[in-house]
Amino acid sequence: MRSIEIRQPGGPEVLTLTTRDKPAPGASELLIKVAAAGINRPDCLQRQGAYPPPPGASDIPGLEVAGEVEAVGASVENFKPGDQVCALVPGGGYAEYCTVDASNALIAPASLTMTEAAAIPETFFTVWHNVFQRGGLKAGETFLVHGGTSGIGTTAIQLAKAFGAKVFATAGSEAKCAAMRDLGADLAINYRDADFVEAVKEATDGKGVDLILDMVGGDYITRNYKAAAVEGRIVQIAFLRGKKAEVDFSLLMMKRLTHTGSTLRARDIAFKAGIARELRQHVWPLLSERRVLPVMDSIFPLEQAAAAHRRMEDGDHIGKIVLDMS
C-alpha cells in the first residue's frame, strides 16, 4: 500500500510517500480500505518530533479515516466487509489501508461523502468528550470557544448550538468571524481588534461565560479566568501560545472555577468506545439530517501530504483539511 512516513523530525518536507505492507486486522479489529484521512494539528506535532505515537500504534501519522471495511477480525460482530465507516485511530491514517478496533469505528452517515466522513472522528470525539462530558455543557448555558474556525472550533460551535447553548467564539480576521456567525455563533470576536474578556462580559451583562474550550494557553489562561462566570469551567486541549504561563490563581479561588484538560490519543480503546456510543446516540442523527456537518477547508491527494501540513500551519484554513486516497 501507499503511505506517508515521517523521514525524520522536521518541517512538512519530511513527509515522504512510501510503500509498506498492508496491515492485517487483529481479532477485534477492522481492516479499512481508506478513502480519505483527516489532517489534525497533532499530526504536525508528531512530524516535528513533539508528539510520538502511543505504544503499539503505527508510526504512520493520521488519527481519523473513512473508507470501506475490507476484512474483519474473528471476534467482530457489528461490522462486515463492504460497510462504509469512519474511525478514530491511534495512528496509521495516512495510508491506503488502516486497522482499528471495531469499537472505535462507526458506520459513516449515508448523507456524507467519504471526505466529509473522514473529517468527523478526531474533532467530534474531542469536542464531545471535552465540551459535553468533561465540560458538562447544558442547554441555556454560555460557551466560549477559542480558535473558532479550526476543525475543533467549527465542530464545537455547531454542536453547542444544536444542544441549546449560547455560543461565543474567537478568531483572527473578519472573514473568519463571518464564517463563525454562519455556523451559528451568537458572538464572533476578532481577537486582533477586541479584548475577548471585555466582549463576553458585555454580552453577558458582566456575568461571564459558563464554559470555555481553550487550545491557546499562555496568556489566555488568566484571561479565561477573568472571562469565566462564577462556578465556570475551563477545559484545556492545547497550548498554541505555550504550556507555561504566569497565572493569577486567586481568580480561580474567588470564582470557584474548575480548570481541567485532556488529551485523547493516549486514552485506551474502551474509553474511546464509550465516546463512540454517545456520538452514535446523540450526534449521528444530526449528521444524518445534515443539521451538523464538518466544515471542509481543502482536500489534497495523499502524495501532497506536505502541502496539506503547510495549509494547516499557515493558519488561514477554516474547518477541516483532508487527504483523498483515490
The pLDDT of residue 79 is 98
190, amino acid identity: N
Instruction: Specify the 3-state DSSP secondary structure of 240.
Output: coil
CA pseudo-torsion sign 14, 17, 19, 22: positive
Can you state the angle between helices 174-183 and 151-162, rounded to 10 degrees?
A: 30
The pLDDT of residue 154 is 98
The pLDDT of residue 89 is 98
Q: 282: closest CA among 137, 182, 71?
A: 137
Question: Three cell numbers at 66?
Answer: 473513512
Residue 301 CB neighbours (<10 A): 13
Mean pLDDT by 10 residues, the chain (326 residues): 98 98 98 98 97 95 98 98 98 98 98 97 98 98 98 98 98 98 98 97 98 97 98 96 93 98 95 98 97 98 98 96 96
The pLDDT of residue 326 is 87
294 close to 119: Cβ distance less than 8 angstroms: yes
- What's this model's pTM, rounded to 2 decimal places? 0.96
244, amino acid identity: K
Domains of the chain: 2-120+265-324 (3.90.180.10), 124-261 (3.90.180.10)
Helices (H), the chain: 41-47, 114-118, 121-127, 151-162, 174-183, 196-203, 220-227, 250-255, 269-282, 284-288, 305-314
Site of grid cell 462504509: 84
